[in-house]
């Protein structure tokens, strides 16, 4: 299970990557869902493949 964020309205929800809806469950818009599963300091996610620079995090 991963946490996803709508790039239109910011709504976050849990889903599997292969089960994402076509439209946002909150705003109903077709959007790009951003994977925000591990963007907290405690996670120490490396900034490599899968890291989305559009979502927080300081260099």
pLDDT in tens, 35-47: 888 765 556 555 5
- What's the pLDDT score for residue 33? 92
What is the percent of the chain where pLDDT is above 90?
A: 42
User: Cα–Cα distance between 24 and 42 in angstroms, integer?
Assistant: 28
Q: How many CB atoms lie within 10 A of CB 26?
A: 14
- Mean model confidence pLDDT for the chain: 79
Q: Could you give the 3-state DSSP secondary structure of residue 5? A: strand
41: its two tokens: 């300091």
**Distance, C-alpha 33 to centroid of its chain:** 6
Stretch (H or E) spanning 13 = strand 12-15
28: its two tokens: 């109903």
């Amino acid at each position: 299970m991963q946490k996803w964020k709508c790039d239109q309205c910011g709504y976050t929800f849990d889903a599997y990557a292969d089960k994402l809806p076509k439209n946002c469950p909150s705003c109903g818009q077709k959007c790009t869902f951003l994977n925000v599963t591990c963007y907290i300091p405690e996670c120490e996610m490396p900034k490599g493949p899968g890291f989305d620079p559009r979502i927080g995090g300081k260099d």
